[in-house]
Structure formats: structure tokens, C-alpha cells
Structure 1
């Protein structure tokens, strides 16, 4: 088996073809803090209003948690919110971030108006333009994927390095430009190397006029400050953990999570008092109903259970698609998924605060990774809730939506049982006979993957059990990125890399436009099939 180095000439050809790539000398003002309060796209989303061009300027760079910009954080908590201060969980480590923020800047800025008016934001139909400057200190390339935005008509803007584009090289810039067609809760993240795991991620919310929003009547407020982005988090750079795990038997399991880039983990002593870096908090007014938008930026196999102490959640949407409301006490969210729910702030008799809980499972259960945020009632005492915050205490009984690895029951309801609020215009595709059908078997196989178990020097049969590494494969093929992006330079991908055998490479299937295809996935050893239509 052979590997292929990056085809530099091919990527240079893409640079010539797409004028979005530019060598750049950045000015100092790129580091100025821009909260986008005066952004021209901040307005109510209304019917028949003309779409706008929404422009953003982002710097992707290597940075540090609790840097000098944090001054006296966490001893002076207000310092933790200074420009360029990333407090995270209190553990100092390297990160990859946009504009020295964790999470990165959201593509949506909202000022809530009175009930009966829409929030001000990026609206469905707007054009989003993001200029990316790559300032990563290690010289690594980068790209940004727009998760949930289908990029119909602009596949070259999907942001997948060496699939839809060449990486944005160090000290270069690239401008993404696409229409915000898909309304709902989405997110963006780095799609090169381990950058997403090290902090390169943020929210995208595309709102629409009230006439197109089926659940608008269920809530009073839909605020940008009620977007929740949760992710598992390591105390060291992810590449170090990856190499340790794959080339030895090193630990790669997360011990904690972040909610909106914040959490309490490391203990700091201030005299006889123990203090922490700040947790995320979300303020509500008693008697009002709020739409919350939850995004999972999880990295490892880390399903996360979300619950709010003392409250139920009226679930109304998944992955940007509205479904018939369903009341749950908790829900599980998997990596890349998004859920919207309505919370009724009905605890008005004795004002207090409540925990919002994120409890990890699977890989995240090994070290009981979890995190909490504060649901803060306006007018309540400025103190944390009294309930314990440990992983075991975060189990929530009652009705669960989207159970993990268990069959459905009267109290555990699969997401597939939700019914769409708006019929899908493509529903006919699901019932029609496909032109082509492919069977894709997915499993972890015991093979001598030459990258991690050299068959000549230390094959799997030679190493001790705890150092065995099984390879994830589809039809016994381990995927590797091609040396050139096949979307734009398919002919530059050598035939030796287009493998069809039980090897490592880039499996390629050519199909005609307008053909209907069914791809049937078998996830071993799970006894079920998934059959999406393409």
C-alpha cells in the first residue's frame, strides 16, 4: 500500500481557477474585537424583504487558554470576559480558534424585539461571505465546513480539505461565499486535522420570517444568548492524545466538557476559598417561554444527555427541521446534531437558579465527563444552584428523547418517531425505485494498518492486547484523503489512490447527474440497516 503526498501543482491550479485564494499581509486591525452589533445584516427577517450580503472577517490561529489577556482571571471574574481571554475550564493548553474566541464568532447576531416581531439576524436567502486568514503557528492548512448548510449550487464552498477544496495554506486567505438557504440551527467547524477538537467551531443560526416558522407561537423569545454549544474537551492538544493512543496505549478519553467554551474544572485557591473559571449562564424572565438551540460539537464517540433541573423541554426541531412538539425531561444529542426546544420559565413562586446539565456517555463515560451551566432567573439571588453537579447526579429520569444504544420504550422515544411539521418536498425520492443501489458495510476490523501496526516490524499479532488498534473501514477499505480534491481536480487523483480492494485509499464511484441512488449501510455488529437516498 502506498500513500500520496499533496499534489502542490494541482492545488496551485485550483488557486488559479478560484480567485478566492489570496496571499495576504494582515493589518493589525484584524485583531480588533468586532461584536457585529452594527452589522448590516442585523434586522428583522420579513417576507418580501430583499436578501443582503453578510460579510465576516476571521483569523484562524494557534492560541492559548488563560493567556496574558485574561489578567487576573479567575480571581477577578470580570477579567475572564475580557477581549482575547479564553478561560475554558481553567486548564492551560494550546487551542486553534477564530478571532481568539472559544467558541468562535457565531454567524448570527440577534436583538430581540417585542412579541410579534422577528429577531434581527442572518436571514434565510442572505448571502454569507466569510474571509478566512490562516495564521496557524504550525504552518498547517485549514478549511471551514458549514455543518447543516447543504451548499446546493456551491459544493466547492463546503470546506472539506482535499475533497471539495485544497487547504487554505499558512499566511494565505480564502473567501467562502454561499447562500443561507437552509433555515435553522447549524454550526461551522474546522475540517482539517484536529482543529475542530482544539476549538475551531461556532454556531450558525439562519432565521426566517414568522410566516415560515411553524412553531413561532410557542415561545416569547428566540435570543442569540440562548444558543448552547457543548463539546467534549481534553486537557492537552488533541494531536498529542491521538498519537499517544494510536501508536501506543495512551489515554484519549475526555474528562470534561465545555458549554459555550466555559466550564469549571481546575481548582484555584484564593486564601481558604476554592474558585473556578466561570460557567456559562442563560438568563430567563419568570413567566416567559424561550427557544433554546443546542449544538453538539462532540469529537469522540460522545453522546451527550441534556436536561434542565426542575423543568421539562418542549422539543420542536432537529438539525434545522421542525417536527411536531414533544415534551421531554431529557434528550441525547450526538456529534454534529442540533436540537431546538422551548423552555417555560414557570418557577416564579420562589425565584432561584437551576442547573443545565450535559452528561457524557460512551467514550465520555470512562472518566465521567460532564459539565453544567446556570439557568438564571432574572431577580433571583446571584448564587449557584444548591444541587450537586457530579456525573452521577446528572442522570435524569422521566421521558427521554433519542435514546442511545437501547430500544425505544414508553419512556425512551426514538427520534425517528417524530413527525415533520412541514412535508418534505423530496419525500417522493424515498419511495421511488433507485437507479443504483450500493451496500456499505461499516465496522472496526482487525487488520495490520500500516500506519499504526507495521506488518513487518510490529503487526497486531506481536503486540500486547491493550496496544491492539482496530481500523474503522467501509467495505474493508480504510479511507484516506486524496492528494488533490476530486471535486475540482479529479483527473489529478492517481489511479493508484482510487482503490476498490481491501486496502487503504480513496474509494471513488462515478455516477450520472439526476440518477437516484440508495446507499445501504450495515453497522456491525448492530442488527439494523440505514438506507438513505441520494
Structure 2
């Protein structure tokens, strides 16, 4: 009888857990969202993420945007009003924010409910994952994709603080809505800028990005295979904005979906945390009408404060600033203005800075594209040399107390040249059937590559299944002999020793297009020791000659630490990092279209025997070929009823079903 009761309890508990996981929480009042206190014990912070295909302005939105209140209903995703397919976590865009304290344990149970059997993963952008390397969330590098209708538990320590974020890292899911904020706070006593502000509120986290008017895979396939447009026309701020026009049938007035609103109180100073989930080649200029702002951190790392009128943020970057609410009580526009690809269609968006006691109205002043062009001092210029009014991030001085590990001569040094290369490939410009030379110029695809190599995903993750990867798939002399004239694709791995000081000279040759590439390194942050734009175009050879002649000056004393940095078109960025985290770490352009077709490489830190052990029962995947059947000895079966279960089991399941009904009613 005791065994029967035990089994019933287990069934009952399982039903209740399943129902709890089905609840799509926004975690706006999660217990881990708290003030971080010196000496307080860390917490274990659990989140359930359900990943789904979803749509803008579903039935959950009722009468939105005609009744604006409806736009804020649970499960209503209004975006900019354009009806399109999206991918969400818990039917939110952005997905739930994770806000914890330094050294908390983060546990995220991801349930993949995508239609069409798509696999997915989630990357924790900016988290170094030291000791938790298998939880970096990069499809086919650190794990297999989470298959449809299955679950995967990410579990890692919030070991490095600051403004971070999470996003999909399989396919183009990040571009369709699979992203959200990840903020790791520390006690104010450890924050070198804490004396400059009064409040650091969860609601002052801001995610900005360009936004397409259709599913990203449609635009991706159309652009790469048929030469169709890839330029964004819209942008979002915290998943909201105005783009699509609606005519109210009752008033005949034009209405829009609502803007994001950020509330402040006069004469208080607030810390804002800005994240770029940028999708395409779209640097974003951010400013606040009538307010200068004080920049204090980038990519989670504090630096000496600098007062600016605006700043640019590239895909994958984060910036923290302080806003002094010292203006007249009222409403002010927060502006984002896209450049490069976004500039073609004048993509922009606004949000509202609303002072306490101000009327709930839109600010005065235009919201067109040109009104977002803020004059004055700017941080992080796009494709410009540094000047008194243009401050590159390499001019920032860190206040980070961590050791620099800056040797005068690094242990390993690499040069990587990036550009859009004119080379036929069997995917987009088949050498025999439709080569570059034979197709219309507008339909030619120039490949974004590093050192003329297209990185391909392994068939199995090297971190957990290195021996399952055919060795001839890795880059070597056998497949990279003549890459400047023919298409080279391979698993592009560079190897460094554990505890090496590694320098990388990143060069954007800038021959084909006036673009730029924000480069993100997983597993580490790096010091930005130098950066400059040389000319409209350059070459690896020119930069190497400049370097050998001592013409590239490096800051090895107080360089800022980042994990994502732009490389100016026709210029270079020099980074250094301490390779203290064994594993396989992706380094790639954070523009989704570029990364998806191979603009990246893998940094192997340490020998295989220095890698962390793979967790028990970790999912496996890879190539398979039929080699014959296996004889399986048939196991004895219990007597069963017509439903395929024994009679005692049937009675137990009936009782469990009754308990399940009670569980549902109690929730």
C-alpha cells in the first residue's frame, strides 16, 4: 500500500509541475529581483521559458490599437503594428527579463514548442560561463539544438556583473523576437559609479534594434538567393513603437500602437541600461531630447564617466548611462536613429521619457528620421576617426579592478581581415550554373568572410563530442590553399594555450561596401587597446606593415574591457584577452545575416584534457549512416489490459487523474 501511495504522490507532483511550467510568467515580481546587499547569501533563481511561434496583434490584444489599454494585456504583442510571424518566450517581446545579483545561480528551463520541428538554443550574451562552459547556448559549438517539444535546463552562476542579455543562437530566431534582458547587479559599495545616481530600476532597461516587416527567414532567403532587399524599415524600443498606421472607424483618426514609456521624478538621477539586439548592419544613435547623459559602463564594465549628447550602439553592445531629470516636468522623446542599412529606409523609433506629474501625452516636436540626428559630443562613432566630438570606445579608461594581464608582447597574436569577398560558391552563386559573372549585378552575393574563409558548423558540438567530428572538416592546408580565388569553407578553429595573453588585430578591409562588423567573443571579455579608421579601404598587408613599423599605438594601462566591439570599415581594432577559460568559444560578427553564413571562427582555449567534463546524460547529436540492425532481446512484459497497462496501473492512473483535477482547481 505504501508503494501505491508513493507512486500516486509522484504522479500528482508531476502533473502539478507540468501545469506550473505551462504558466507563461513574465517574472516581473521574481524574488531574485531585489536590492543586492554586501554579504547577503546568493539565491537560486529559476525561470521557465516556453519558446513558441507567435504573431503580432493576436486575439489576446482585443481592440488594440484603437483601445490603447488593450495593447498592454497579457500575451498581447503589439510591436510596431505590422502583422507578422514572430518567435517569443512566454508570449512576450522582448522575453522575460532576468534580473539577479552577482553570484546568484541562474536556472532556466527552456521548453521548445516551435512548430515545424525547429531546434533552438539560448545564449547568455556577456556571461563568461567559467565552470559552466556547456551552458553557453551556441548551437553545434557547445550543445546540440534543443529539439522540438523537448526541454533543456541551463544552469550557471551569475559570476560577472553588468548589463547583459539573452538571445536565440540557432538559425535566425534572435531576429524574430527570441531575446530579453539579463541584468546582474552588485552591491552599491562595489559600483564605482554608485555615487552618481539615485536609482537603478529594472524598468529602466532598454532594448533597441532594427525590425523587419516579415519573418526574417523570408528576407534572408530572398536577399541571398534572389537579390531582394534586406534593408529594415522599422525599429523597436522594448518591443514597442509606431510604424503601421490604423484608421479608427469611430473617429476616422489615424492611430498607432503605443510607444514605450520610461518614468522619472524631477531632480533625481537614474541609471539606464541600453542593449542592442541589432539584426542587420544597423548602428543605432541614441539620444534624449534636451538632456545630456553621462556614460558610465559598456558591456557590463565600468569606465570613467563621460558626458555626451548621444551615443552609437552596435549589434550585441550594451551601454549604461545616467540621466539627470533636472528639466521641466513634462514628456520628452527618447530617440533611436538607424544608420548604414537602416539609413536607406530612414528606420527610426522613439520612446517617451515621462516626468512624474506630467500629462499622459506625447512630447512635442517631430518624430521623423532627421530629428534623431543629435549634434554635440558622441560616443562610439560609426566609421569615423576620433575627434574632440567623436569618442571611440578605445579612448575610454576602465575603472575595473580586475587584473589586466597585459604583457608587452602577447603569447599569441593573430591578424584577421574581414570583407565581402567576390567569390563563387555552390550555395548562392554556383560556379557552373549561375556564377557571379553571369547574373545581374543586383543579384550577386559577396560573401562576408574572415581571412577569406567561411566558417561552417560542425555536425557535432566540439565541446562534448570532439571525436565525432571528421577531422578533414577542420581548416587546414588541404582546404584553404587558394581562398582568395576560390570558395573556402571549413570549421575555422584557432588554438591558444590556457592562460595565454592573446592579441587579435581585426581589420575591415572595406573594399566592397561601406559597412562595419561588430565582433563578439564568447567566454571572455577583451581589452580594446587600439582602434582607428585608416581610409575608405585598407588591407591586411597595410595594417600589418603599420603595426611592424610601430604606427599602431596601444593602451596597455587602462584599456576598456568589452565582449563586443565594432571594426571600422577601412580600419582596425586591436583586442587582447587572457585565455583563462578552457573550452571552444565562438567569435563572430553579430549581424545576424553575416554570422548565419559563416562570418566567424572558433577559439579553442586549452587542450582537450583541460576542457570541463561533459554533464551526465548531456544530449548528443551528429551525422548518422546506416550500418545494419542490432538484435535486441525482447524483455518480458507484465499482463496488460486492452489499453496496454496492467490492471493495478490503470486504477492508479484513474486516481491520479482525479488528483490532477484538484491540482488544476487549486492553481
Contact 1:33 1:83 in 2 (8 A): no
Contact 2:381 2:391 in 1 (8 A): yes
Shift of the alpha carbon at 1:439?
2.4
| Structure 1 position 399 matched with structure 2 position 377 | yes
Q: Secondary structure at the match of 1:487?
A: helix
Contact 2:25 2:90 in 1 (8 A): no
Shift of the alpha carbon at 1:413?
1.4
| Structure 1 position 328 matched with structure 2 position 313 | no
**Aligned equivalent of 1:19:** none
Flag structure 1 segments of 5+ consecutive residues without an equivalent.
Answer: 1-23, 109-121
**What is the root-mean-square deviation in Å for CA atoms of aligned residues?**
1.6
Q: Secondary structure at the match of 1:97?
A: strand
**Aligned equivalent of 1:473:** 449
Shift of the alpha carbon at 1:292?
0.6
Q: Deviations over 1:120-174 (max 9, x none)?
A: xx11010100000000112110000111111111111110000111110111100
Which structure features the higher share of helix residues? 2
Residues 455 and 49 (structure 1), Cα distance of their counterparts in 2 relative to 1, 3 Å cut: same
Residues 509 and 421 (structure 1), Cα distance of their counterparts in 2 relative to 1, 3 Å cut: closer
Q: Secondary structure at the match of 1:331?
A: strand
Moved more, 147-156 or 304-313: 147-156
Shift of the alpha carbon at 1:92?
0.7
| Structure 1 position 458 matched with structure 2 position 434 | yes
Contact 1:445 1:471 in 2 (8 A): yes
Distance 2:344 2:24 in 1: 39
Shift of the alpha carbon at 1:70?
0.5
Distance 1:487 1:432 in 2: 32
| Structure 1 position 513 matched with structure 2 position 493 | no
Distance 1:327 1:405 in 2: 21
**Aligned equivalent of 2:202:** 224
**Aligned equivalent of 2:595:** none
Aligned with residue 160 of structure 2, among 182, 190, 194: 182
Contact 2:406 2:501 in 1 (8 A): no
Shift of the alpha carbon at 1:514?
3.0
Contact 2:93 2:238 in 1 (8 A): yes
Residues 465 and 521 (structure 1), Cα distance of their counterparts in 2 relative to 1, 3 Å cut: same
1:5-20 matched pairs, under 5 angstroms: none
Distance 2:300 2:73 in 1: 32
**Aligned equivalent of 2:663:** none
Residues 338 and 511 (structure 1), Cα distance of their counterparts in 2 relative to 1, 3 Å cut: closer
| Structure 1 position 268 matched with structure 2 position 246 | yes
| Structure 1 position 196 matched with structure 2 position 187 | no
Shift of the alpha carbon at 1:38?
5.1
**Aligned equivalent of 1:14:** none
Distance 1:529 1:336 in 2: 16
**Aligned equivalent of 1:504:** 489
**Aligned equivalent of 1:375:** 353
Aligned with residue 165 of structure 1, among 129, 138, 143: 143
Flag structure 2 segments of 5+ consecutive residues without an equivalent.
Answer: 1-14, 511-569, 580-667
Contact 2:505 2:572 in 1 (8 A): no
Q: Secondary structure at the match of 2:342?
A: helix
Q: Secondary structure at the match of 2:576?
A: coil
Shift of the alpha carbon at 1:198?
0.2
Residues 529 and 321 (structure 1), Cα distance of their counterparts in 2 relative to 1, 3 Å cut: closer
Shift of the alpha carbon at 1:529?
4.7
Contact 1:31 1:99 in 2 (8 A): no
Moved more, 472-481 or 194-203: 472-481
> How many residue pairs get matched?
494
Shift of the alpha carbon at 1:380?
1.2
Shift of the alpha carbon at 1:29?
4.4
Q: Deviations over 1:229-276 (max 9, x none)?
A: 011100000000000000011011100100000010111111321111
Instruction: Work out which of the two has the higher radius of gyration on C-alpha atoms and give 1 or 2.
Output: 2
Aligned with residue 406 of structure 2, among 424, 430, 450: 430
